[in-house]
Every structure is written in structure tokens, then in C-alpha cells.
Amino acid sequence: MSTRPQRPPVSPVGWTTRFECATDVPTRVLADIETLLLDDNAPATCIAACAADGFTFAGVEFSDECHCGTGFAGGVPPQVAPTSNCDMACTGDADQTCGGVWSIEASMLVSRSSVLAIDVRSFVRSSRLPVPTETARRR
């Protein structure tokens, strides 16, 4: 019996899922990375946050992590992992998965003109407060 949520990830218009599950590494698989810790994390929420900051890659990991980047580190795509490695429920939608332990679900922008269709304001909550750390900040 699987505990993996059953609903597939939802990508906003202009974005596509590049990897359903890939192995992340301590140096991170995304280039020029910004990491957000989101209490309401879900693939679409992460993508909207990354798009608002001008990033073209977004990835969810470990339930509440949202990783934004400009491509793959070193231009090399990450190693594909079994989808069973990405079995953690999203903090913002328990019916969707948001990666796993060192396992990331990565999406990328395929049509820049479509970013305008994303209403980022619908994803912003006043409960998100910045938490300064070296590698992550909470919104």
C-alpha cells in the first residue's frame, strides 16, 4: 500500500515538469540557487515564487523546500531517481508530492511570455516571513 499522494503535480502555464524525481546533492543540482522554505509549498506555489524572482527553474524537495535556479549546475542534468524517492507530501497540499530526502521534482520555464499569466499575488501570504540563513530563507 503506497502512502504517495495520488494527484500529479500541477505546473502553471508556460512551465513543464522536467524531472518527476531526480537525485539532489549537497552542492545542489540547480545553478544560481535560491532556497525558500514554504509553509504552503506545492509545485505551483514554488514555481510562482521562483518566477516572481526571475528564475527559470524551480524544484520542490523535502515537503517544504522550494529551490529556484537558472538551469542545471554545470549545465548537466541531475541523475533520474525512482519516483518512489519523491514521496513526501507538500506542506501546502497533502494530495501532491514535494520531493523527498535529497530527491527533487524539477520544473522549467518553456515559454517566457506565459509567465505573465501567473498571478503571483494569489500565492503570497502575510504569514511568510524571511528567515536569514546561509542557504535558505522562509517566506
Instruction: Report whether pLDDT(53) > 60.
Output: yes
Compare 119 and 29 and report the one with higher pLDDT.
29
Determine, yes or no, domain membership for 125: no
* pLDDT confidence tier of residue 24, bands split at 50, 70 and 90: very high
Determine, yes or no, domain membership for 10: no
Domain region containing 35: 15-112
Instruction: Report whether pLDDT(34) > 70.
Output: yes
* pLDDT confidence tier of residue 46, bands split at 50, 70 and 90: very high
State the average pLDDT over residues 72-80: 96
Determine, yes or no, domain membership for 135: no
- Please check whether residue 31 is in contact with residue 69, taking contact to mean a CB–CB distance below 8 angstroms: yes
**Per the structure, how many domains does the chain have?**
1
Determine, yes or no, domain membership for 100: yes
Determine, yes or no, domain membership for 26: yes
Compare 115 and 60 and report the one with higher pLDDT.
60
Determine, yes or no, domain membership for 85: yes
- Reading the block at residue 68, the C-alpha cell is 529556484
* Other CB atoms within 10 A of residue 25 CB: 11
- Reading the block at residue 119, the C-alpha cell is 498571478
Residue 100 neighbours by CB under 8 Å, 6+ apart: 21, 61, 62, 85, 86, 87, 88
Compare 122 and 138 and report the one with higher pLDDT.
138
Place of cell 519523491: 86
Euclidean distance between CA atoms 132 and 56, whole angstroms: 23
Q: Calculate the dihedral angle through the C-alpha atoms of 130, 15, 19, 79, rounding to the nearest 10 degrees.
A: -70
Determine, yes or no, domain membership for 71: yes
Instruction: Report whether pLDDT(7) > 60.
Output: no
Determine, yes or no, domain membership for 119: no
**pLDDT at site 91:** 98
Mean pLDDT over all residues of the chain? 83
Cα–Cα separations (whole angstroms), residue 95 to 5, 23, 43, 67: 5, 22, 11, 20
Chain length of the chain: 139
Task: Give the whole-number percent of the chain exceeding pLDDT 90.
Answer: 69
Compare 111 and 4 and report the one with higher pLDDT.
111
- Report the largest interatomic distance among the alpha carbons of the chain, rounded to a whole angstrom: 42
